[in-house]
Amino acid sequence: MSNFKLNIYTPQGVVVSATPCEELTIPTETGIINVLKGHTHLISELGNGVLKVKIGSGQTRHFTIAGGLCKVLGDNVTILAKTSESSESIDQERAKSALSKAESRLATGVASVEQIKFQRKVERAKNRLKIANLK
């Protein structure tokens, strides 16, 4: 029996819609938050990391999250992410290639603004590889 519904939206489209959940672990800019039934209303800025969704009956799904906003209101949790992917949809070879490219660009001593950009790419690629093995 679900306690609330999860929606994840990105500029590329809907990742999940009205997915029943019993528990969420959400990466925010200020740390990890855990959402259960009856959670207080909340709006928070998302960080980069892994969103863990407990569906029930021992089932768990994982999604990458890279920036955006999270809203907890009543029995709905809405994630508006810059990017998000489910563990099932990750191409591991593509993620490994992206990680390698971003790490090599960082090693060449890019400008400070570029360095932040490539550090974020490294984080996203590592998160993608982390959850790809959780299928």
Reported as a single tens digit per residue, the pLDDT across 101-111 is: 777 777 776 66
List, for residues 44-54, the tens digit of each pLDDT value: 999 999 999 99
If you average pLDDT over every residue of the chain, what do you get?
85
Residues 62-105: tens digit of each pLDDT: 999 989 999 999 999 999 999 888 877 777 787 777 777 777 77
Q: What domains, with CATH codes, occur in the chain?
A: 4-88 (2.60.15.10), 91-132 (1.20.5)
Confidence check: pLDDT of 134 > 70: no
Which token pair is 93? Answer: 């070879």
Check residue 87 and report its DSSP letter.
Answer: G
Residue 14's pLDDT band, with cuts at 50, 70 and 90, is very high
Would you say the pTM of this structure is higher than 0.85? no
Rounded to whole angstroms, how far apart are CA atoms 20 and 82? 22
What is the C-alpha to C-alpha distance for residues 53 and 70, in angstroms, rounded to an integer?
Answer: 14
* Phi and psi based region of residue 12 (left: phi greater than 0; alpha: psi -120 to 50; beta: remaining): alpha
d(CA 105, CA 50): 24
